[in-house]
């Protein structure tokens, strides 16, 4: 197909995503983008109706990988095939391509009449931040193969950064990583927080702390569990896979994956959300704040941008059990204003995200005659955002 003429006042937009096989922050960003551009199809490497966002199911166009039996259940193992899947998308009839990137999808192919805006959650951690961990987790016999595969993918990932016209980062940390790994500048637009769904409740604050996270190692749920057990504080742990952490404990209750309604109720009644991990952004922090509740967070990554220490929560500098224990005790000596906490979260609303991304797309489209060289970006773009 032939791309539409640039004289059109409204661009034809396509949204392109890495696999959507779980309910996470990247999937919520794609949902918000789908609201910003209601006529845009959503191309995704893989999509799981059971675990991905259901509101967009009728708009999703999957890559050829979905024809592999059970592909969504082992999507991570297929990532060496992602470049082929990404490059197989025929996007020629669209004026602006908006990618939601945390793995490899920014490597999509575009022609000279198109503009590609990449919303980057992070350069892929397995390639740039944790390659040695990825290798050492594999059986020794296949480590040379894994190492060679990661090297090839890292080269492809770096090279395809030149296919992006404008990078948009979800945080300053991600912006720094884009500059370091891809040698590209970016602007920061924070992810959308559902402040209309996460709201203060008409409930009394309970006697428990809360962890809400998927059971993956870097989330460091173990620190929160150990800290609460040592301090004899009640803790509720929710999130996909956290039921596998269950053990006999006087203090800790493991609920596993819960509904959004249940999660909202737990956030509304918690003393504070415990957040022991380093995240590129950390949407859960602001979802708790939107419910009027403070947070206790490791002072690194996105938390440094979103937590007002002493006002919307407490930051602790050392990612350890002792560091979290000290933060909990410090928190209990302070008072927090739920109204101020809620007001802070409103700065990160989905409405603001949608308006900002719409502005970026329309500005990029109407300025698309400017140079596409990576070191040059339209001035108007750098003036929009949070």
Cα angle 176, 182, 185; round to 5: 55
Q: What is the DSSP string of 290-356?
A: HTT--EEEESSTTHHHH--BTTTEEEESS-SHHHHHHHHHHHHT----HHHHHHHHGGGBHHHHHHH
Quote the domain boundaries for residue 343: 208-347
Q: In this structure, are 266 and 333 located in the same domain?
A: yes
Residues in the chain: 386
Q: In this structure, are 289 and 368 located in the same domain?
A: no
| CA dist., res. 191 & res. 349, Å (int) | 8
Q: What is the DSSP string of 40-62?
A: --EEES-B-TTTS-GGGGGGEEE
Task: Tell me which residue has tokens 């996460």.
Answer: 198
Residue 379 structure tokens: 């001035």
Task: With respect to residue 213, please indicate whether it lies within any of the assigned structural domains.
Answer: yes
320, 312 in Cβ contact below 8 A?
no
DSSP-derived letter for residue 211 is: E
C-alpha count within 13 angstroms, C-beta hemisphere, residue 203: 17
Q: In this structure, are 129 and 221 located in the same domain?
A: no
- Determine phi and psi for 264, rounding to 5 degrees: -60, -45
Long-range contacts for 135-140 (Cβ within 8 Å, ≥24 apart)? Answer: none
| CA dist., res. 205 & res. 270, Å (int) | 6
Q: In this structure, are 186 and 255 located in the same domain?
A: no
Task: With respect to residue 2, please indicate whether it lies within any of the assigned structural domains.
Answer: no
Q: What is the DSSP string of 144-166?
A: HHHHHHHHHHHHHHHHGGGG-SE
Task: With respect to residue 292, please indicate whether it lies within any of the assigned structural domains.
Answer: yes
For residue 338, what is the domain's CATH number?
3.40.50.2000
Residue 200, Cα to own-chain centre: how many angstroms? 24
Q: In this structure, are 213 and 303 located in the same domain?
A: yes
Q: Which residues of the chain register pLDDT less than 50?
A: 1-7, 369-386
Q: In this structure, are 170 and 318 located in the same domain?
A: no
The pLDDT assigned to 92 comes to 96
The pLDDT assigned to 371 comes to 41
Q: In this structure, are 84 and 188 located in the same domain?
A: yes
Task: With respect to residue 203, please indicate whether it lies within any of the assigned structural domains.
Answer: no
Task: With respect to residue 279, please indicate whether it lies within any of the assigned structural domains.
Answer: yes
Q: In this structure, are 266 and 287 located in the same domain?
A: yes
Q: In this structure, are 376 and 321 located in the same domain?
A: no
Global pTM reads 0.86
- Closest alpha carbon to 107 in 94, 93, 91: 91
Cβ partners under 8 Å of residue 68, min gap 6:
78
Task: Tell me which residue has tokens 């300053």.
Answer: 172
Q: In this structure, are 43 and 125 located in the same domain?
A: yes
The pLDDT assigned to 44 comes to 97
For residue 111, what is the domain's CATH number?
3.40.50
Q: Work out whether the CA dihedral 312, 316, 317, 320 comes out positive or negative.
A: negative
Q: In this structure, are 300 and 320 located in the same domain?
A: yes
How many domains is the chain built from? Answer: 2
Task: Tally Cβ neighbours within 10 Å of residue 185.
Answer: 16
353, 346 in Cβ contact below 8 A?
no
| CA dist., res. 85 & res. 66, Å (int) | 10
Q: In this structure, are 314 and 372 located in the same domain?
A: no
Task: With respect to residue 197, please indicate whether it lies within any of the assigned structural domains.
Answer: no
């Amino acid at each position: 197909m032939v791309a539409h003429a640039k004289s059109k006042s409204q661009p034809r937009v396509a949204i392109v995503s890495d696999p959507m096989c779980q309910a996470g922050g990247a999937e919520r960003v794609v949902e918000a983008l789908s609201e910003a551009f209601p006529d845009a199809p959503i191309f995704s490497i893989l999509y799981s109706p059971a675990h991905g966002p259901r509101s967009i199911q009728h708009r999703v166009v999957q890559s050829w990988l979905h024809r592999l039996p059970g592909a969504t259940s082992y999507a991570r193992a297929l990532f060496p095939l992602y470049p082929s899947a990404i490059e197989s998308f025929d996007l020629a009839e669209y004026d602006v391509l908006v990618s939601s990137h945390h793995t490899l999808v920014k490597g999509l192919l575009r022609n000279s009449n198109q503009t590609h805006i990449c919303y980057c959650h992070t350069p892929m951690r397995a390639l740039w931040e944790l390659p040695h961990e990825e290798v050492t987790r594999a059986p020794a016999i296949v480590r040379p193969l894994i190492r060679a595969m990661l090297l090839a993918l890292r080269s492809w990932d770096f090279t395809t950064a030149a296919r992006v016209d404008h990078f948009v980062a979800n945080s300053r940390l991600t912006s720094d990583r884009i500059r370091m790994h891809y040698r590209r500048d970016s602007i920061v637009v924070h992810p959308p927080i559902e402040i209309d769904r996460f709201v203060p409740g008409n409930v009394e604050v309970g006697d428990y702390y809360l962890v809400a996270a998927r059971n993956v190692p870097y989330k460091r749920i173990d620190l929160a569990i150990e800290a609460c057990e040592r301090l004899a504080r009640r803790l509720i742990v929710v999130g996909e896979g956290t039921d596998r952490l269950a053990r006999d404990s006087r203090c800790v209750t493991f609920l596993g994956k819960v509904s959004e309604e249940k999660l909202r109720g737990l956030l509304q009644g918690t003393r504070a959300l415990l957040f022991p991990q380093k995240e590129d952004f950390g949407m859960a922090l602001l979802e708790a704040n939107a419910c009027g509740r403070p947070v206790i967070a490791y002072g690194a990554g996105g938390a440094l941008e979103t937590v007002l220490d002493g006002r919307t929560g407490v930051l602790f500098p050392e990612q350890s059990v002792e560091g979290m224990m000290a933060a909990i005790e410090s928190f209990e000596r302070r008072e927090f204003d739920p109204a101020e906490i809620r007001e802070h979260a409103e700065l990160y609303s989905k409405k603001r995200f949608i308006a900002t991304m719409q502005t970026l797309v329309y500005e990029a489209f109407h300025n698309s005659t400017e140079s596409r060289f990576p070191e040059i970006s339209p001035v108007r773009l750098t003036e929009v955002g949070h």
